[in-house]
């Protein structure tokens, strides 16, 4: 068709044929005659029975485009029908679409990659290899699952145009090869692949359960951008060994645009996990290898960084903040730092050996003024002018890190850029960097000092653990109970109180049993003597007189029956099972028993009953009160009670020291009062001799070792069946613990317990009874006029002298074993003030240890005297 | 009889016992003409070799905030229970590395934990001298804590080790610092039998580890601070079936060989040993010579499902894979990529033997398995 004809025919409907005559017939449309069209005839009325039901087509449900899967799954009644009979055009398209997606597997991979290539054309040519990466990512995802149509969004500012291609992606490679890449976490040569999530539901929903919308709170995977709702995040991300990443993404480098959120915990995570766990995950997220900035992404002065250079850059005193992949320039002499082609953004630490030499056109300036060989930008020039730097004649400046400048080739400094007060203001106005404060003069020192002064416990949730150990009978349980009573508002819970009550009551029954046993023995002794005398009388006189069984120790038949029964239960070992429960029944009897003269007489001779512990007299004197059903144990009762805490091997109490008004002002402002302490009491007997458990207490801050002073004349059977002095046993245990490798650098506080008992005892039994103390020769005791008189000012009592002597013995032993100083404190376990002082002393030691490193430069020097004044 | 006379008799008896023991030792030595390694070498066997991907760390289970002390696998599924000094038991799904349960313990000083054969409950024990049972199916309370379903109390020392009797959810054996092992009936919470103790011929120091024979669950073996391992029959509590001497330090870990006729031990003397329960002989010593300083202690051991490999964790952070036949170290997990940063304190092999789990003082658990490329045919 000629163009002219075309033009003419522009508006015509059809053109008349004017070509050569045709040799054949043209088919022509025949007009329709309406009558000839066949029409269905009207059906004549057929008689139908009512029973016969015609098949009725169910009404079609409106096609649910958004949830085709759910429709199929959740409504099975309709589903069969719908899938067979629905011919709604929209649903056909939807199904087809899905089918093509799931069927075409490999094929659609090529499609989508070609699509990406097409996209390329629209964008600038610089993005070549990133799009290539993108192809890689979609392709790799395809090989795993069905394809996602999603193309990961790219942020232009993160893209580095000059970066050489890191990933070489072979489009023809088969699926196997790709699968391999996912199986192996090769961190050494980490491929920089931008991963896309494996599955994706409708927009805004959770990637795992496909529920929720864009407003539900979600956690995002740092690698593949998948979002999970609160119910799914822990399942999808597992234990998060590298922070918030899908399990399948572990080991892969993070999406660089999410670097800013590293270590920043979301509310959701805080809700789902406890604080320590969140801390741990955030720490892992920030510091694990896979999440570090890959060094090959950062280019300084046109040179890609090596790993070492990156570490230098990030660990310097004043590092560039929020380092992102990209091209930077760095002026070594002045520390100026900026993006390539842009003005400086920050002043970092100078003289770092990072990247190549700076290029003159690094910041793309056109002012012909040079600083350290870099042509500066207009903004900088303006700043220099405002700072009073003469910039006429296109000078070349040499600027040092302190801001001093001179012209190139000259020796004397012309001035300081930062010298004028207004300069920094100008810089802020022009959004130019100013040197940070910490980078001046001292260099790296302040930062390292700051990191050192942060105490360990801040990371451990501010609980300092004190381990309380000692041989059995050294009073560790008393000190433990005392600490509970001192520092807890509710020392013992209801249950504990009830248990303690029962324990005390059954203890008292046991004491009574011992007493009754003693009574029987005494009675027998006297009766025996009587009989002997009587028989001798009988022999001489030959007359039989009625045997008088009545002695001081005799009791009435009712009490006798009770006594027999009690002793029988004790022998059978069922005392614990019967007694506290039977208290109601026997309480009146006890009163009668206690008031009986025979028992009173036996009680007088209690020192002869070696089974009776020393605390028994305390309880027996209160027996009537204690064995009432409405008895409530007092704090003192609890302190005296045996067996209240020793039921299992270990017990602990957490407390903080209450602030008292008398404390110094320094103390009240001190963070130490916020610190919580955990006193852990270990029952040495139940824990074996080999101390295998000691390494579990590696994290304690201090060991408080308890020794009973009054043990020096006591004997006990040791592991080999030999009778050994208890003080020597304590010393052996002390040596074991002190020399244990776990406690190599541990502080020890020795508590010399039962000082009150000791003071009494030392007057009667010489300290030299224990072979370890054989060289104890107190000088002053001879000069004292009366051995019973207590200390006059400069005349300490024998007890004090002896306890000092024992303390020195232990200190010498300790320093010979470890070469360090032992802290010692004498304590009366039953006096609250004494225990309080000892535990506060422990606190002071801990505080002193913490402050010792920076002791010289702080005003806390007074602690040195304070701490030592406590030690004896 | 006076005390001095008794003492003399006791001394004499001790002397006799020691003499007999020495004679027994010499007799054993004379009978034992070779060890496994010598024989295997003479037969021309070569050690197992490991490719770079044959055992790699493929999962890190992170979630504990304290040192991990113990772990155990379920017998049927891929679940792990671990106990840590943060006072928690965590039940993990090893495949997905998810936590299914986190149980806060009443006593933080836990030393051991075990999964029941059906996987319905877990047991743990520690310095509180109690073995606590938790039913994983029971509902949690307001704070999300699982209540203790049964307390097995009766030990007078710490519970160092516990293991369920195979195929029985109702029986459990514990080893304790009070020098005894106890067989418990969990339904009643009472002791069925006590092995060792004051008047019986049992261990003379803390029991640190026990292992039940997989093929004959009546037999179990215990390792102790008295440097011996003892074999027990649960029907005869009064005395040990056999006592195995040889170690020169505390026996920290015992584990039955998969065939049930041998067992391995790991000790503070830095060696692992293999003993035969039928002859009582020591079959092999696994000892790596270190130059100058004293040997690192063995903390935990495990056998591969075939028994060819013995995996042992050491206090210096090493974790050797021994070839049991040739007594050669074929791999050190501690030197691999992605390994633990702290001492490996516990080890366990999954029931099918496909994966190894290690727990460490660096608060993490790691799953090790074959990491190569599986070609699907």
Query: Which of B6, B54, B55, B63 is the best residue to mutate to test the A interface, defined by the most A CB atoms within 10 Å of its own CB?
Result: B63
Residue A141, H or E segment: helix A128-144
Residues A844 and A699 in one domain: yes
Enumerate the residues of chain A whose CB falls inside 8 A of the CB of residue B60.
239, 241, 250
A702-708 and A463-470 strand pairing:
parallel
Q: How many CA atoms lie within 13 A of A641 on its CB side?
A: 29
Residues A330 and A423 in one domain: yes
A755 assigned ligand-binding residue? yes
Q: Does A235 sit within 8 Å of B111, measured CB to CB?
A: no
pLDDT of residue B84: 92
Q: Does B208 sit within 8 Å of A240, measured CB to CB?
A: no
Q: B30: distance to nearest CA of chain A, Å? A: 33
Enumerate the residues of chain A whose CB falls inside 8 A of the CB of residue B363.
280
Alpha helix positions (H), A396-471: 421-429, 445-453
Contact A474, A730 (CB under 8 A): yes
| DSSP-based helix, strand, coil % in chain B, nearest 5 | 10, 40, 45
Q: What is the CATH number of the domain that holds A603?
A: 1.10.400.10
Comparing A548 with A616, the larger pLDDT belongs to A616
B229-233 and B242-244 strand pairing:
antiparallel
Q: Does B129 sit within 8 Å of A648, measured CB to CB?
A: yes
Q: Which of A240, A280, A690 sits opposite B205 (nearest CB)?
A: A690
Q: A649: distance to nearest CA of chain B, Å? A: 5
What is the tens place of the pLDDT at every residue in A38-94?
666 665 555 545 545 455 555 555 444 444 444 333 444 434 443 444 344 433 333
Residue B115 forms beta bridges with which residues?
A: B122
DSSP of B307-350: SSEEEEEETTS-EEEEETTTTEEEEEGGGSTT--SS-EEEEEE-
pLDDT of residue A531: 80
Q: Give the pair of three-digit tokens for residue A269.
A: 């995570």
Sequence-distant contacts of B312-319: CB under 8 A, at least 24 apart: B312/B266, B312/B272, B312/B286, B312/B347, B313/B343, B313/B344, B313/B345, B313/B346, B313/B347, B313/B358, B314/B270, B314/B343, B314/B344, B315/B343, B316/B343, B317/B342, B317/B343, B317/B344, B319/B344, B319/B347, B319/B358
Q: Which of B85, B178, B363 sits opposite A696 (nearest CB)?
A: B85
* Residue of chain A whose Cα is closest to the Cα of B299: A692
Q: Which of B130, B177, B205 sits opposite A687 (nearest CB)?
A: B177
Q: A556: distance to nearest CA of chain B, Å? A: 40
CA distance B113 to B172: 11
- Choose the weakest-confidence range: A135-144, A234-243, A712-721, B290-299: A135-144
CA distance A713 to A709: 10
8-state DSSP, A706: E
Assigned domain for A233 exists: yes
What is the tens place of the pLDDT at every residue in A145-193?
333 334 343 343 443 444 443 333 333 333 333 333 333 333 334 444 5
Assigned domain for A146 exists: no
Residue A557 backbone dihedrals phi, psi, to 5 degrees = -60, -35
Residues of chain A contacting B, Cβ within 8 Å: 176, 180, 183-185, 187, 234-235, 238-241, 247, 250, 276-277, 280-281, 284, 648-650, 652, 682, 685-690, 692-693, 696, 698-699
Residue B44, H or E segment: none
CA distance A522 to A688: 40
Q: What is the CATH number of the domain that holds A732?
A: 3.40.50.300
Mean pLDDT (whole number) for A861-872: 40
Q: Which residue has the tokens 């007359």?
A: A543
Assigned domain for A831 exists: yes
Question: What ipTM was predicted for this assembly?
Answer: 0.81
pLDDT of residue B233: 93
CA distance B223 to B237: 16
How far from A687 is each of A244, A470, B86, B129, B297, CA to CA, in Å? Answer: 42, 12, 20, 9, 21
* Residue of chain B whose Cα is closest to the Cα of A693: B127
User: Mean pLDDT across chain A, nearest whole number?
Assistant: 68
A366 assigned ligand-binding residue? no
Enumerate the residues of chain A whose CB falls inside 8 A of the CB of residue B92.
239
Q: Does B98 sit within 8 Å of A234, measured CB to CB?
A: yes
Q: CB atoms < 10 A from the CB of B324, how many?
A: 25
Residues A595 and A728 in one domain: no
Mean pLDDT (whole number) for B259-280: 92
Q: Give the pair of three-digit tokens for residue A387.
A: 């700072």
Residues A723 and A604 in one domain: no
Domain tally for chain A? Answer: 4
Q: Which of B109, B337, B375 sits opposite A696 (nearest CB)?
A: B109
pLDDT of residue A664: 44
* Number of residues assigned to chain B: 377
Query: Which of B177, B358, B365 is the best residue to mutate to test the A interface, defined by the most A CB atoms within 10 Å of its own CB?
Result: B177
A480 assigned ligand-binding residue? no
Enumerate the residues of chain B whose CB falls inside 8 A of the CB of residue A176.
375
**Confidence band (pLDDT; 50, 70, 90) for A779?**
low
Contact A656, A676 (CB under 8 A): yes
Q: CB atoms < 10 A from the CB of A86, how many?
A: 15
Residues A695 and A839 in one domain: yes
CB pairs under 8 A between A and B: 105
Q: Does A176 sit within 8 Å of B206, measured CB to CB?
A: no
Enumerate the residues of chain A whose CB falls inside 8 A of the CB of residue B158.
649, 686-688, 693
What is the tens place of the pLDDT at every residue in B186-195?
999 999 999 9
Contact A245, A267 (CB under 8 A): no
Q: Which residue has the tokens 């005799």?
A: A554
Q: Is B269 on the interface with A (CB under 8 A)?
A: no
Residues A244 and A299 in one domain: no
8-state DSSP, A223: T
Q: Does B62 sit within 8 Å of A280, measured CB to CB?
A: yes
How far from B110 is each of A34, A696, A759, B84, B335, CA to CA, in Å? Answer: 98, 9, 41, 7, 28
Residue A326 forms beta bridges with which residues?
A: A298
What is the tens place of the pLDDT at every residue in A669-678?
444 456 788 8
Mean pLDDT (whole number) for A9-26: 64
Q: Give the pair of three-digit tokens for residue A89.
A: 């055009």
Percent of chain A with pLDDT over 90: 0
Enumerate the residues of chain A whose CB falls inside 8 A of the CB of residue B364.
241
CA distance A355 to A306: 9
Q: Does A241 sit within 8 Å of B364, measured CB to CB?
A: yes
Assigned domain for A65 exists: no
CA distance A205 to A357: 50
Residue A132, H or E segment: helix A128-144
Q: Does B129 sit within 8 Å of A649, measured CB to CB?
A: yes
CA distance B211 to B224: 12
Residue B323 forms beta bridges with which residues?
A: B309, B328
Comparing A211 with A643, the larger pLDDT belongs to A211
Q: B328: distance to nearest CA of chain A, Å? A: 28
Residues A470 and A502 in one domain: no
Contact A632, A621 (CB under 8 A): no
**Confidence band (pLDDT; 50, 70, 90) for B181?**
very high
A720 assigned ligand-binding residue? no
Residue B320 forms beta bridges with which residues?
A: B312, B332
DSSP 3-state of B263? strand
Residues A351 and A284 in one domain: no
What is the tens place of the pLDDT at every residue in A585-641?
777 777 777 778 888 888 887 777 767 777 777 887 787 777 777 788 888 888 887
Assigned domain for A692 exists: yes
Rounded to the nearest 10 degrees, what angle do helices A755-764 and A798-818 cross at?
Answer: 110
Residues A318 and A254 in one domain: no
Query: Which of A410, A430, A450 represents a domain boundary (last residue)?
Result: A430
Q: Is B206 on the interface with A (CB under 8 A)?
A: yes
Q: Is B14 on the interface with A (CB under 8 A)?
A: no
Domain that holds residue A828: 464-493+648-658+674-776+797-854
Tell me which architecture the domain covering B39-370 has in CATH.
7 Propeller (2.130)
A349 assigned ligand-binding residue? no
Residues A847 and A719 in one domain: yes
Q: Does A650 sit within 8 Å of B107, measured CB to CB?
A: yes
CA distance A726 to A718: 9
Residues A299 and A318 in one domain: yes
Sequence-distant contacts of A45-53: CB under 8 A, at least 24 apart: none
Q: Is B96 on the interface with A (CB under 8 A)?
A: yes
Comparing A346 with A26, the larger pLDDT belongs to A346
Residues A270 and A306 in one domain: no
Contacts of B81 (CB under 8 A, 6+ apart): B71, B72, B74, B89, B90, B91, B92, B113, B114, B115, B122
DSSP 3-state of A201? coil
Comparing A214 with A749, the larger pLDDT belongs to A749
Q: Does A180 sit within 8 Å of B98, measured CB to CB?
A: no
């Amino acid at each position: 068709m000629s163009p002219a004809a075309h033009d003419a025919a522009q508006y015509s409907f059809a053109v008349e044929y004017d070509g050569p005559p045709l040799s054949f017939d043209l088919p022509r449309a025949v007009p329709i005659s309406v009558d000839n069209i066949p029409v269905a005839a009207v059906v004549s009325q057929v008689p139908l029975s009512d029973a016969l039901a015609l098949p009725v087509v169910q009404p079609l449900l409106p096609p649910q485009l958004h949830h085709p899967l759910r429709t199929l799954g959740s409504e099975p009644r309709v589903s069969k029908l719908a899938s067979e009979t629905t011919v709604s055009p929209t649903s056909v398209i939807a199904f087809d679409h899905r089918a093509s997606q799931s069927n075409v597997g490999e094929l659609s991979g090529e499609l989508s990659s070609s699509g990406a290539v097409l996209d390329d054309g629209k964008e600038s040519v610089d993005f070549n290899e990133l799009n290539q990466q993108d192809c890689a990512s979609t392709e790799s995802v395809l090989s795993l699952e069905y394809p996602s149509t999603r193309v990961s969004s790219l942020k232009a500012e993160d893209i580095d145009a000059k970066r050489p291609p890191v990933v070489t992606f072979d489009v023809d490679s088969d699926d196997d090869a790709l699968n391999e890449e996912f199986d192996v976490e090769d961190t050494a040569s980490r491929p920089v692949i931008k991963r896309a999530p494996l599955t994706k539901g409708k927009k805004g929903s959770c990637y795992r359960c496909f529920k929720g919308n864009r407003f539900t709170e979600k956690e995002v995977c740092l690698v593949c951008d998948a979002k999970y709702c609160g119910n799914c995040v822990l399942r999808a991300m597992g234990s998060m060994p590298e922070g918030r990443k899908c399990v399948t993404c572990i080991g892969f480098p993070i999406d660089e645009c999410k670097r800013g959120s590293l270590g920043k915990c979301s509310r959701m995570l805080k809700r789902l996990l406890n604080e320590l766990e969140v801390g741990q995950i955030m720490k892992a997220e920030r510091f694990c290898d896979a999440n570090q900035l890959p060094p090959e992404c950062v280019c300084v002065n046109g040179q890609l960084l090596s790993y070492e250079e990156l570490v230098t850059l990030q660990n310097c005193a004043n590092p560039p903040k929020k380092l992102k992949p990209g091209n930077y320039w760095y002026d070594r002499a002045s520390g100026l730092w900026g993006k390539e082609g842009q003005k400086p953004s920050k002043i970092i630490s100078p003289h770092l050996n990072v990247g190549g030499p700076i290029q003159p056109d690094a910041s793309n300036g056109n002012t012909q003024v040079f600083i350290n060989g870099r042509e500066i930008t207009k903004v900088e020039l303006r700043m220099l002018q405002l700072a009073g730097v003469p910039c006429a004649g296109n000078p070349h400046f040499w600027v040092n890190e302190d801001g001093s400048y001179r012209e190139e080739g000259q020796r004397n400094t012309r001035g300081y850029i930062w010298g004028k007060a207004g300069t920094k203001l100008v810089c802020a106005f022009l959004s130019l960097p100013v040197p940070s404060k910490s980078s001046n003069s001292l260099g790296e020192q302040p930062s390292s000092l700051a990191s050192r002064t942060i105490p360990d416990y801040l990371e451990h949730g501010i609980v300092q653990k004190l381990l309380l150990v000692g041989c059995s009978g050294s009073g560790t349980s008393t000190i433990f109970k005392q600490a509970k009573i001192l520092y807890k508002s509710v020392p013992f819970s209801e249950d504990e109180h009830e248990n303690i009550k029962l324990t005390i009551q059954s203890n008292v029954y046991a004491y009574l049993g011992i007493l009754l046993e003693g009574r029987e023995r005494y009675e027998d002794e006297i009766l025996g003597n009587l009989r002997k005398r009587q028989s001798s009388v009988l022999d001489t006189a030959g007359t039989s007189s009625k045997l008088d069984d009545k002695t001081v120790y005799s009791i009435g038949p009712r009490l006798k029956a009770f006594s027999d029964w009690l002793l029988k239960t004790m022998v059978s070992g069922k005392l614990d099972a019967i007694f506290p429960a039977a208290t109601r029944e026997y309480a009146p009897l006890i009163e009668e028993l206690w008031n009986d003269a025979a028992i009173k007489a036996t009680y007088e001779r209690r020192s002869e009953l070696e089974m009776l512990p020393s605390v028994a007299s305390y309880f027996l004197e209160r027996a009537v009160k204690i064995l009432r059903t409405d008895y409530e144990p007092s704090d003192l009762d609890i302190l005296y009670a045996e067996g209240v805490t020793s039921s299992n091997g270990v017990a602990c109490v957490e407390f903080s020291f209450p602030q008292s008004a008398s404390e110094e002002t320094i103390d009240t402002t001190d963070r130490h009062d916020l610190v919580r302490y955990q006193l852990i009491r270990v029952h040495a007997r139940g824990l074996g001799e080999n101390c295998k458990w000691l390494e579990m207490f590696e994290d304690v801050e201090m060991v408080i070792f308890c020794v009973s002073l009054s043990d020096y004349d006591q004997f006990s059977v040791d592991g080999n069946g030999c009778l050994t002095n208890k003080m020597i046993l304590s010393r052996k245990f002390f040596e074991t613990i002190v020399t244990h490798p776990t406690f190599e650098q541990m502080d020890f506080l020795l508590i010399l317990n039962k000082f009150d008992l000791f003071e009494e005892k030392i007057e009667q039994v010489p300290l030299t009874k224990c072979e370890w103390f054989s060289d104890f020769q107190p000088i002053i005791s001879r000069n004292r006029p009366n051995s019973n008189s207590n200390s006059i000012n400069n005349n300490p009592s024998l007890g004090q002298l002896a306890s000092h002597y024992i303390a020195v013995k232990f200190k010498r032993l300790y320093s010979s074993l470890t070469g360090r100083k032992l802290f010692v404190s004498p304590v009366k376990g039953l006096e609250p003030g004494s225990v309080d002082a000892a535990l506060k002393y422990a606190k002071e030691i801990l505080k002193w240890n913490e402050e010792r490193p920076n002791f010289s430069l702080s005003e806390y020097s007074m602690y040195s005297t304070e701490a030592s004044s406590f030690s004896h | 009889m006076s005390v001095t006379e008794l003492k003399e008799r006791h001394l004499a008896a001790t002397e006799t016992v020691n003499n007999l023991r020495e004679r027994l030792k010499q007799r054993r030595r004379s009978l034992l003409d070779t060890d496994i390694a010598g024989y295997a070498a003479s037969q021309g066997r070569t050690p197992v070799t490991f490719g770079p991907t044959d055992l790699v760390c493929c999962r890190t289970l992170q979630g504990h905030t304290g040192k991990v002390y113990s772990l155990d696998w379920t017998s049927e599924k891929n679940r792990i229970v671990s106990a840590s000094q943060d006072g928690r038991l965590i039940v993990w799904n090893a495949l997905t590395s998810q936590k299914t349960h986190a149980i806060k313990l009443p006593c933080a000083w836990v030393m051991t934990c075990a999964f029941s054969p059906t996987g319905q409950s877990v047991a743990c024990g520690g310095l509180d001298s109690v073995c606590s049972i938790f039913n994983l199916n029971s509902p949690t309370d307001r704070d999300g804590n699982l209540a203790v379903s049964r307390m097995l109390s009766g030990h007078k020392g710490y519970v160092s080790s516990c293991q369920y009797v195979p195929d029985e959810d109702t029986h459990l054996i514990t080893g304790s610092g009070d020098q005894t092992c106890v067989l418990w009936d969990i339904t009643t919470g009472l002791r069925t039998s006590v092995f060792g103790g004051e008047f019986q011929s049992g261990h003379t120091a803390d029991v640190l580890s026990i292992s039940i024979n997989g093929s004959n669950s009546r037999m179990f073996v215990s390792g102790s601070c008295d440097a011996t391992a003892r074999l027990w029959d649960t029907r005869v509590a009064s005395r040990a079936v056999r006592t195995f001497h040889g170690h020169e330090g505390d026996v920290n870990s015992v584990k039955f060989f998969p065939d049930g006729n041998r067992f391995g031990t790991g000790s503070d003397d830095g060696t692992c040993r293999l003993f035969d329960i039928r002859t009582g002989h020591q079959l092999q010593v696994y000892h790596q010579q270190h130059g100058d300083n004293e040997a690192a202690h063995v903390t935990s051991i495990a056998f591969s499902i075939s028994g060819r490999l013995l995996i042992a964790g050491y206090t210096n952070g090493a974790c050797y894979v021994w070839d049991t036949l040739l007594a050669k170290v074929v791999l050190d997990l501690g030197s691999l990529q992605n390994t633990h940063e702290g001492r490996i304190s516990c080890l366990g092999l999954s029931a099918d033997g496909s994966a190894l789990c290690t727990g460490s003082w660096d608060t993490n658990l790691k799953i090790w398995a074959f990491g190569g490329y599986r070609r699907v045919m």
